[in-house]
Structure 1
Amino acid sequence: MAIKGIETVGNIDIYFEQYRSNSSHQTIILLHGFLSSSFSYRKLIPYLTSDFNIITVDLPPFGQSGKTYRYTYSFENIARSIIELIEAKGLQSICLIGHSMGGQIALQLANIRPDLVQRIVLLCSSGYLPSFPRKMKALSYLPFFSLGVRHYLAKSGLEKNLKKVVYNQELIDDAMRQGYLQPFTEGRQIFRALGRMVRDKRVDLLKEDLQKIHTPCLLIWGREDKVVPLKIGKRLASDLPNANLVILNDTGHLLPEEKPAEVTSYIKNFFIEKS
């Protein structure tokens, strides 16, 4: 059973779900990807709760977390907000699992507070992305920019995007469709916040930044990932000083949903080896 709540850190509300199995167990915080939410971990969580204390977080402005236009949606600032959440819960040592964008935020967090993070698991993590062009950032100040964001997402289409992120198309069902669509049907705030996110996006951590992160890292990648290709995983594994890369065949980008049992097996072995 999950304990659900909202923690206000700075000027943003962060929604979380906490699954506690044993006070002596390691705590893992799950960070989801872009245009997603904690929903993306729904199949992985049951495999982890017997051995770990789990906290899932909806990264702002996604899911049930705040979508205020006054918040700075850079990955660095989101990571700092997660640090505040961790401290508010009295945690002094945690592990991170980050999928896609969540992987980049996990790395940002470890870069800021290496003392706080024991281990990191990166699932098809984003990396090496530049900032958005200045022209686009300038346009983000215009009142109608959020309408453009909404139109772009509607045009790309839910079904098309789901087919892009999973290798086995039979996994796509109505529950998945509804889960990923719901946060975008509850008003315009999300689209205004995404416009602000375009403005706040900075370049991802560079090679020299990654080389300073000595936290043990396990990278798990789908060989058929069309969103963050395997070459990014290989590059991250090369630049991170203490990293191992695992490649899963017949797997796309949405690892937590496509191969939860297999992913869990690698995670548990990684934690045992490093404990």
Structure 2
Amino acid sequence: MELRRQHQQGYEYVDEGQGPVLLLLHGLFGALSNWQDVVDEFSADYRVVIPLLPIYDMPLTQAGVPGLVAYVEGFVAALELPSTFTVLGNSLGGHIALVYTLNNAARVSRLVLTGSSGLFEDGMGGSFPKRGNYAYVQERVGYTFYDASIATQDLVDEVFNVTNSNSKCLRIIAIARSAQRHNLSKELAKIDIPVLLVWGLNDTITPPPVAHEFARLLPQAELRFLDHCCHAPMMERPAGFNAYMRRFLRATEAAPAFAA
């Protein structure tokens, strides 16, 4: 299905399906469309909600992990989401999901993290975006995927247009530096809920040792790898990603209450 964007109280988002809520958070150069295959797979059984994070136009003084977490908190309140729900995050979105959970422990029942920052990330291949250099942007976008052909011209053009704007570049750099400063290694033990980690075995941005460290530090973590896959498994290996996620959701569903 084509993702239908909605607007409410200044928020832009996708809201598809009915049932328990899955709140999906995209990464630094991400978009709502990154989660297309997840929406297609799960919206028959779940209410899939995806806010468009204001990475490129939020106030510069708020451009960072805390500011984005506050944005998600405002979004959850504006949509009056249920008291508890499952949160998924890719890359920076995983980092936001973790901090949101630390700040709102009673609201998050489960987490799914894929290529998450929060411990270590080699953003943009070790350097910040170079304004006006299309070949550089094409190379860096391709660096996100095991199969560089997934980095279509439309995707490269989108990132190039972003990095060709001084104001947007300033926000990207501020957010990336904020993510690098906000190391969560000492906080993760507090997240004592089921967590699924789905990682690309060929991830060059948050490499497999990062996934193993998340698994070590999170008390209830389950780690799964996908081969021939880099930093965005839900885009590059959607069938495998969705299969792992489906099994995890089924295994961690709250047991139904029995009448006396």
Q: TM-score range by the shorter chain?
A: 0.7 to 0.9
2:142 paired residue number? 163
* Gap regions ≥5 residues in structure 2: 122-127, 254-260
1:226 equivalenced with 2:200 (yes/no): no
204-213 or 116-125, larger mean C-alpha shift: 204-213
Residue correspondence of structure 1 range 81-230 to structure 2 within 5 A: 81-91=71-81, 92-129=83-120, 151=130, 154=133, 157-184=136-163, 187-197=165-175, 200=178, 203-230=181-208
Aligned-partner SS, 1:211: helix
Query: TM-score of the superposition, structure 1-length normalised?
Result: 0.79
- Summarize the Cα distance change of 1:203–1:156 in structure 2 as closer, same or farther, 3 Å threshold: farther
1:75 paired residue number? 65
Aligned-partner SS, 1:44: helix
Query: TM-score of the superposition, structure 2-length normalised?
Result: 0.83
Aligned-partner SS, 1:208: coil
Q: Distance in 2 between matches of 1:125 and 1:7?
A: 29
Give, as a single letter, the amino acid of the residue that structure 1 aligns with 2:80.
G
Identity %: 20
Q: Distance in 2 between matches of 1:35 and 1:194?
A: 9
| 1:44 and 1:261 in contact (8 A); partners too | no
| 1:39 and 1:179 in contact (8 A); partners too | no
1:259 equivalenced with 2:237 (yes/no): yes
What whole-Å deviation, never above 9, does each CA across 1:24-81 have from its counterpart, x for those lacking one?
A: x11111111122222322333212222211111222224xxx33334x1221331122
| 1:108 and 1:205 in contact (8 A); partners too | no
1:18 equivalenced with 2:5 (yes/no): no
- Displacement, 1:256? 1.8
- Displacement, 1:96? 0.9
Aligned-partner SS, 2:229: coil
| 1:124 and 1:221 in contact (8 A); partners too | yes
What whole-Å deviation, never above 9, does each CA across 1:200-220 have from its counterpart, x for those lacking one?
A: 556334333100111210000
Aligned-partner SS, 2:181: coil
Q: CA RMSD in A?
A: 2.6
* Gap regions ≥5 residues in structure 1: 9-13, 131-148
1:270 paired residue number? 248
| 2:202 and 2:230 in contact (8 A); partners too | yes
- Summarize the Cα distance change of 1:6–1:183 in structure 2 as closer, same or farther, 3 Å threshold: farther
2:219 paired residue number? 241
Give, as a single letter, the amino acid of the residue that structure 2 aligns with 1:114.
A
Aligned-partner SS, 2:89: strand
1:60 paired residue number? 54
Q: Distance in 2 between matches of 1:33 and 1:111?
A: 19
| 1:27 and 1:95 in contact (8 A); partners too | yes
2:258 paired residue number? none
Q: Distance in 2 between matches of 1:150 and 1:267?
A: 33
- Displacement, 1:192? 3.4
Q: Distance in 2 between matches of 1:201 and 1:104?
A: 8
Indicate which of 37, 45, 50 corresponds to 1:51: 45
